[in-house]
Structure 1
Amino acid sequence: MKDTPCTVGDVMTQTVVAVSRSAAYKEIIRTLAQWKVSAVPVVEGEGHVVGMVSEADLLPKQQFKDCDPSRIEQLRHLDDLVKAGAGTAGELMSTPAVTIGGHATLAEAARLMARKGVKRLPVVDGNGRLTGIVSRSDLLRVYLRDDEDIAREVQDEIVGHFFRNSRPTAEVAVTEGVVTVTGRLPDPAMVPVMARLVRAVAGVVNVELRLDAPPAGRRIPEPPVVGPQF
């Protein structure tokens, strides 16, 4: 289970190219082309992230190259117009930077990307220093996990816990990331809990629980709790 990618730090790209505030327009474009990326963090001092420069930030210079000056006041995207005249990363960057910590979960990163409308997040340590970058494709890569690995984790870490005192134990099957658990759960009230835990396993696409309840008036007993004797 420890090898399962569960956090941003597990899936992020650790070798990250960045530019300074003073990086010139063409230097930024050369950096993007050389590293085959569409955006770079802007850092200052000891690697503290202060912004991001993307291809979208650079494009206005081309967009307004042949614009009629008499129609400038009619342009709706004034922010883009300002960027069209910018020449350094400090002038072009989107700030403040939307960052995330390496200990954040993949779900937290996905929600932050969706909320902020960004495709990648600089990953920072507790002091705001750049340690990596995580992209949408990094978050989706977890779904390449083998069905066998998913089934093993669900069986050992979740189902095995719920069914540790009942026989026969439940059966776990995984097909294309969809987990099916079949069996009889000692306490039917725990079904939503099991579903939530299984869904949280890395690589799980969906969950189907085919769990029967014990016959009416009968409940599979739990073992006595043995505590310290006084």
Structure 2
Amino acid sequence: MDMRALLARIDPLAAPARRRVLADTARALAGSPELTTLLAELDAVPGLPRGWAATMAVIAADDTHIRRGIGTADLRVAGQLMVHCARHGLHFDVLTAALPTAPLAWRHTLYRVVRATGATAWAEALLPSVRARFGDHEAAAVLAACEADTVTALLPELDFAVPNLAALARRHPAVVLTHLRRRLTEAGDAGRNAVWTRFGPALARLVEHDTGQVVDLLAHLGPPTGLPA
């Protein structure tokens, strides 16, 4: 089956039926030169056809197409394939090889996938090289997906750069709560307002984790000018 025949078959179909045809075709042609040609034809057409090629490659376990597609500038397709690879622990070598010269948008797509899929092993492996090459802000973008010990060690250095403290507190509430207490103690009366303002977005998650500790912090190290918003 070539692209023209496939498109003629799926064009009149509703989305669920279209997905079934794509899946059935991928399974039927898995491992064949015919599938390789079909995927290449679809991939050459931006938009839906390129996305269908990625979907069919995943279903057919076509690693050649997946490895090539991970690095594409089409971020929708790259992200789709990254999610598949992160969930199944596949092709991390391709990602690490592409990372040093990848554009910012591609890198942020990777970091978002790592966080969303909870790819802890990937986060642990990525963070040192990302920090060395791209700095603290990009390293902080993968921190939430790391192990608790790593977050404990690096949060004092990276807390200023964490893009979403609420997300970090959702995954590592005990670590963030301990860190907040340390920051408040170090800040003294003059600096506590700034600390509470910075960590305000994380408070709801911290209260869910340990209401008593948060109440204790507010009682003994609370902001002099009122509760954080």
With normalisation by structure 2, the TM-score equals 0.27
Which has the larger helix fraction? Answer: 2
Which has the larger strand fraction? Answer: 1
The one of the two structures with greater contact order (alpha-carbon pairs below 8 A, sep at least 6) is 1
The structure with the largest alpha-carbon Rg is 1
With normalisation by structure 1, the TM-score equals 0.27
